[in-house]
Amino acid sequence: MEKHLFLAGHTACYGCGEALGARLVVDAAGPNIITTDATGCLEVFSSRWPQSAWAVPFIHSLFENSAAVASGVEAALKALGRQGEAKVIAQGGDGGTADIGLQCLSGMFERGHDILYVCYDNEAYMNTGVQRSGLTPYDSDTRTSPFGKVSWGNRYLKKDMPAIAAAHGVPYIATASVAYPKDVQAKVKKALSITGPKYIQVHVPCPLGWKSDPALTIKVAKLAVETGLYPIFEMENGVVTKVRKIPRPAKPVGEYLKLQGRFAHLFKKGGGEGEVKKIQQIADENIKKYGLLSEAAEKVAVEAEKE
Amino acid sequence: MARTFTEGSKAVAETVKLCRPNVIAAYPITPQTHISEELAQMVANGELKAEYVTVESEFAAASVVLGASATGARSYTATSSQGLLLMTEVLFNISGMRLPVVMTCANRAISSPINIWNDQQDSISVRDAGWVQLYAEDIQEASDLHLQAFRIAEHPEVLLPVMVCMDGFILTHAYEPVDLIEQKEADAFLPPYQPQYYLTPKNPITFGAMMGPESYMEARCQLDRALCGSTRIVEEVAKEFKKRFGRFQGALVDTYCIEGAEIVLVAMGSVISTIKEAIDLLRKEGVKVGLLKVRCFRPFPREAIKEALVGAREVLAIDRAFSPGSGGVLATEIRASLQDVKKAPEIKGHIAGLGGREISVETIINIVKDRKSVGIEDRFVDLKEALLK
Amino acid sequence: MKVILGGLAQPATSLANNTGTWRNYIPVFLQKTCTGCTMCAIVCPEGCVYSVEKRKFTFDAKYCKGCGMCAAECPVDDIEMVMEEK
Ligand SMILES: Cc1ncc(C[n+]2csc(CCOP(=O)(O)OP(=O)(O)O)c2C)c(N)n1
Ligand code: SF4
Ligand code: SF4
Ligand code: SF4
Ligand SMILES: [Mg+2]
């Protein structure tokens, strides 16, 4: 088998995007790292005693303190003169990052710790059985934002985490998707070459929570990008320096939504078209804001080839 | 050894400095603030080579020292009251991961009503967090305890966090002459921390794994055994400290005038000094009264307490905190400790000095003299009944 | 398995866990049209796909959960998912 730093035998569901994401991240980072993780699916499926899927030093403490524990790790390395020994990578799910762990993350950013924070964004609290988080997309059907007679699902828009990181002056911020594994890895490597706090948010489909076919994890992730719903970009020193262009014309959001049970109600219940339109609007705004559309369809095809 | 007239917080900070902590993280809260300010200044002056992490909350402070300790750094934090409660979740994690963090708790009441003054409701409320808890009687002891605390925490048979509890304001803000140890002597007493397991690519171990019904109980039992076993180390360290520095204020417990005492007062913290004064006066009057000072509250030194109280007719426990709906915590634990003793003394609980209400020498004398009218149930001492009508 | 202080776990020990037993479908690497693009190995969430030769890939049945991602992503349809006989 290939040599990995995040190993088989973990207990994630079939086709779990988060398991793939974590492996891509640590493999790219290499063995000389120390990782922290928040409570959530990743921690549970990777470190069920007496086993561990981690071949790198790993610490899980609580749901909301991954960034603060990492701050302590980094401070200790400095104090002990061991900075050269390892880079620090803090990890968390979207809930552990954007909701309950946001304060610790803000502290880590603001103090300028030399830490790469990776958020595995599967767009809900999956470990506790699919409840909405601040990164759950609009109209998504979760156990705490269920669709019902008078509800279309989650009423709120995704929290803009990259902007929050940027407001802290974080020098390197990127979004990525497991649909583009080499891009994820390139961004991790680039981030680790920069001193100071870094933030990477990786879109990681959750077949269980999204009610999607596990075999289609990559396809679903790709469609999120190609519809404009999940813009992939890099931000350096507060400026967007690179975006992943998407083929022109962008795919309609329906193509993405229809593959997932969490949006199925939009296509069953009368009036759903209006909601789909609203989601299309979100995608259109992203496309405009980040300039996602490619000049020509061919150029993107060439880029895709390189992936 | 140098004697200086100094503030309690400053004395503690000076001793923490002697311990050469690698990482410090703390968040301001009265009455702890002076300690972390002093340490920040020492770092700023270059006198103390430590990473001082200016965290955004106590929750983060505890999390930072957790991460630092797991990376092999000697780590220190300090807090009070709301700050300690905000740390609660992390406190359990630190002990569960067997990390020898040391903390000062400048004891303060708990909101609501918000109150910045002293009692011990904060540390007592986290008594089940799996930390060693030591209570200081005066500034000298508070200061000395920190050097001992790191030794106890880092002992390979213990590997548990230690909380040094000192009464807020009464000890943190008071000035007293204090003997400070020389760095060389401190280094000889407390060698550098050498963890067996820590976060390093050299041995990429996993901390904080999930344990199920098949092993969780054993992990918890292991923690309990280490905590119970630490009584021996607390004693050993106190004795060695005495040998090196000539000071001894008790190990697990200490006693005062307990020989032939019919009535024994039991308490923790700064009220001990007040009780000693009261005893001196009462003894002059011929009242056979003595004192048992509980210095180590966790692990609860059941045997030492039993031994000290066995001959007494009456035990008067003074609690500066309580468990609403149940009573004084010290009183309750003493009752439990003596339940298998034949002809056990009668144990009476007193809840006193909450939220900074003074416990004076007179209060203590009243507690002793009033003893016949006191019921079995723990009572609130010096209550202003008029405010309750 | 003795409980090490603080419930520590040894690194890379999940390999003892036989997640292959979860499987209903199993991939068949046809090894006919494979271009050696490595996509199957990259996307497998178990990281259990590997190459034996430049254009010959296979997987470790001890861990494969049968999710079908490798087959779905193979650009030349050189992997098939079939119901596993047990
Ligand atoms: C303080 C606290 N509150 C709630 C929980 C329960 N809890 C554990 S994981 C989790 C959700 C995790 O969601 P996310 O961070 O998105 O990670 P995911 O499982 O989706 O990967 C929750 C609510 C907890 N462990 N601690
Ligand atoms: S619930 Fe979702 S995120 Fe969690 S292990 Fe399963 S697929 Fe992965
Ligand atoms: S079916 Fe899934 S688990 Fe099995 S080898 Fe393919 S990608 Fe990996
Ligand atoms: S994805 Fe298909 S073509 Fe590419 S290496 Fe795997 S089997 Fe070969
Ligand atoms: Mg999530």
3-state secondary structure chain A: CCCCCECCCCCCCCCCHHHHHHHHHHHHHCCCEEEEECCCHHHHHHCECCCCCECCCEEECCCCCHHHHHHHHHHHHHHCCCHHHCEEEEEEEHHHHHHCCHHHHHHHHHHCCCEEEEEEECCCECCCCCECCCCCCCCCCCCCCCEECCEECCCCCCCCHHHHHHHCCCCEEEEEECCCHHHHHHHHHHHHCCCCCEEEEEECCCHHHHCCCHHHHHHHHHHHHHCCCCCCEEEECCEEEEECCECCCCCCHHHHHCCCHHHCHHHHCCCHHHHHHHHHHHHHHHHHHHCCECCCHHHHHHHHHHC
Taking the C-alpha atoms of residue C10 and residue A7, their distance in angstroms, rounded to an integer, is 13
H or E segment to which residue C43 belongs: helix C39-43
Q: What pLDDT is stored for residue C3 in this prediction? A: 80
pLDDT band of residue A211 (cuts 50, 70, 90) is very high
Q: Is the pLDDT of residue A195 over 80?
A: yes
Residue of chain A with shortest Cα separation from B210:
A48
| B329-338 and B302-309 helices, crossing angle to 10° | 80
Q: How far apart are CA B329 and CA C6, in angstroms?
A: 28
Task: Please name the residues between 6 and 35 in chain C that touch chain B, using a CB distance below 8 Å.
Answer: 6-11
> Across all residues in chain A, what is the average pLDDT?
96
Cα(B100)–Cα(C84) distance, integer angstroms: 52
Q: What would the mean pLDDT of C4-26 be, rounded to a whole number? A: 95
| Angle separating helix axes B8-18 and B139-154, nearest 10 degrees | 30
Mutation test of the interface with chain A: which of C23, C67, C82, choosing the one with the most A Cβ atoms within 10 A?
C67
CA distance A81 to A56: 20
| Chain centroid, CA B341 distance in Å | 27
Orientation angle between helical segments B81-96 and B58-70, nearest 10 degrees: 30
For chain A, say whether C13 makes contact (Cβ under 8 Å). yes
The neighbours of chain C, by the rule of 3 or more Cβ pairs under 8 Å, are A, B
What is the model's pLDDT at position A1?
A: 63
| Cβ(B308)–Cβ(B149) below 8 Å | no
Would C56 be classed as within a structural domain? yes
pLDDT band at C1 (very low <50, low <70, confident <90, very high): confident
How far apart (Å, rounded) are the C-alpha atoms in residues A185 and A189?
6
- Cα B354 to its chain centre, rounded Å, is 17
Topology (CATH) of B253-388? Rossmann fold (3.40.50)
Q: What is the pLDDT of residues A63-72, one digit of tens each?
A: 999 999 999 9
**Which CATH code, of 3.60.21.10, 3.40.50.970, 3.90.330.10, 3.40.50.720, is assigned to A17-306?**
3.40.50.970
pLDDT digits over B140-187, tens only?
A: 999 999 999 999 999 999 999 999 999 999 999 999 999 999 999 999
Task: Tell me the per-residue pLDDT of B279-296, one tens digit each, with 9 for 90 and over.
Answer: 999 999 999 999 999 999
By C-alpha distance, the chain B residue nearest C3 is: B219
Probe target for ligand 3 pocket from C38, C67, C84, with the most ligand atoms within 8 Å of CB: C67
* Residue (of A279, A253, A275, A277) closest to A266 by Cα position: A275
Alpha helices in chain B (DSSP H): 8-18, 33-44, 58-70, 81-96, 121-125, 139-154, 183-189, 216-245, 271-284, 302-309, 329-338, 361-369
ω into residue C75 within 30 of 0, thus cis?
no
| Side chain identity, residue A14 | Y
Q: Model confidence at A296, in pLDDT bands (50, 70, 90)?
A: low
3-state SS class at B107: strand
Predicted local distance difference test score (pLDDT) of residue B210: 97
Question: In angstroms, what is the span from residue A197 Cα to ligand 1's centroid?
Answer: 23
As given in the structure block, the two tokens for residue B5 are 């007239």
HSE-up of A186 (CA within 13 Å, CB side)? Answer: 11
Report CA dihedral (B259, B264, B267, B268) to the nearest 10 degrees. 10
Among A149, A297, A169, A160, which residue's Cα sits nearest to residue A233? A160
Residue C22 touches partner A, C-beta closer than 8 Å: yes
Query: In angstroms, how far is CA A224 from the centroid of its own chain?
Result: 12
Instruction: Give me the number of domains chain C comprises.
Output: 1
Distances from the Cα of A207 to the Cα of A12, A19, C59, angstroms: 11, 12, 22
Q: Buried (b) or exposed (e) across A126-159, using 16+ Cβ within 10 A?
A: bbeebbbbbbbbbbbbbeebebeeeebbbeeebb
C-beta C59 within 6 A of ligand 3: yes
Write down the pLDDT at residue A67.
99
Q: Which domain holds residue C39?
A: 28-83
Residue pair B94/B77 in contact (Cβ under 8 Å)? The answer is no
Choose, out of C8, C14, C17, the residue to mutate when testing the contact with B (most B CBs < 10 Å): C8
Q: Whose CA is nearest to atom 2 of ligand 2?
A: A206
Percent of chain A residues past pLDDT 70, beyond the cut: 95
- Is pLDDT larger for residue A227 or for residue A303? A227
pLDDT > 90? residue A110? yes
Domains of chain B by residue range: 2-245, 253-388
- Check: CB of residue B296 under 8 Å from CB of residue B251: yes
Contacts of A2 (CB under 8 A, 6+ apart): C41, C47, C49, C50
Note whether residue C10 is domain-resident: no
Of A17, A9, A54, A50, the C-alpha closest to A35 is A54
State residue B371's pLDDT score: 62
pLDDT along chain B (389 residues), means of 10: 94 98 98 98 98 98 98 98 98 98 98 98 98 98 98 98 98 97 98 96 97 96 98 98 97 97 98 98 97 98 96 96 95 95 93 97 93 63 91
Mean pLDDT over the full length of chain B: 96
C68 Cβ inside 6 Å of ligand 3 = yes
Q: Is A130 in the pocket of ligand 2 (CB under 6 A)?
A: no
Q: Residue B69: helix, strand or coil by DSSP?
A: helix
Q: Whose structure tokens read 């969490």?
A: A262
Q: What residues of A are in contact with residue C73 (Cβ under 8 Å)?
A: 218
CB spacing of A69 vs B51 below 8 angstroms: no
The predicted structure's pLDDT at residue C53: 95
Which residues in chain B have their CB less than 8 angstroms from residue C7's CB?
96-97, 208-209, 211, 215, 219
CB contact under 8 A, C9 and A215: no
pLDDT at residue number C4: 84
CA of residue A209 to ligand 5 center, whole Å:
9
What is the DSSP code string of B138-196? SHHHHHHHHHHHHHHHHSTTT---EEEEEETTTTTS-EEEEEE--HHHHHHHSPPP--S
Torsion angles phi and psi, residue A298, rounded to 5: -65, -40
* Distance (Å) from the alpha carbon of B354 to chain C's nearest alpha carbon: 36
Contact B197 C1 (CB under 8 A): no
Find where tokens 């649909």 sit: A179
Two structure tokens written together for A252:
């309609």
Token couple for B12: 């503690």
Q: To the nearest whole percent, how much of chain A has pLDDT over 90?
A: 93
**Which CATH number is B2-245 given?**
3.40.50.970
Helix (H), strand (E) counts: chain C:
2, 4
pLDDT at A294: 86
What's the Rg (C-alpha) of chain A? 19
Indicate if ligand 2 lies below 6 Å from the C-beta of A178. no
* DSSP secondary structure letter of residue B379: E
Residue-wise pLDDT tens digits, B64-92: 999 999 999 999 999 999 999 999 999 99
Buried b (16+ CB within 10 A) or exposed e, C19-29: bbeebebbbeb
The answer to whether the CB of B78 falls within 8 A of the CB of B204 is no
Question: What is the count of residue pairs from A and B with beta carbons less than 8 Å apart?
Answer: 165
Find the A305 Cα to ligand 4 centroid distance in Å.
Answer: 14
In this model, does residue A61 exceed pLDDT 90?
yes
Tokens of B79: 């807090």
Whether the CB of A208 sits within 6 Å of ligand 2: yes
CA dihedral B336, B339, B340, B341 (to 10 degrees): 120
Determine the distance separating the centroid of ligand 3 and the alpha carbon of B203, expressed in angstroms.
30
Cβ(C34) to ligand 4 under 6 A? yes
Q: A54: CA distance to ligand 5 center in Å?
A: 20
In a domain, C6, yes or no: no
State the Cα–Cα distance between residues B267 and B252, nearest whole angstrom: 13
What separation in angstroms does the CA of C45 have from each of A26, A90, A119, C39?
Answer: 13, 20, 17, 12
User: The tokens of B116 are what?
Assistant: 């910045």
The CATH number linked to C71 is 3.30.70.20
Tell me, rounded to whole angstroms, the distance of Cα B186 from its chain centroid.
21
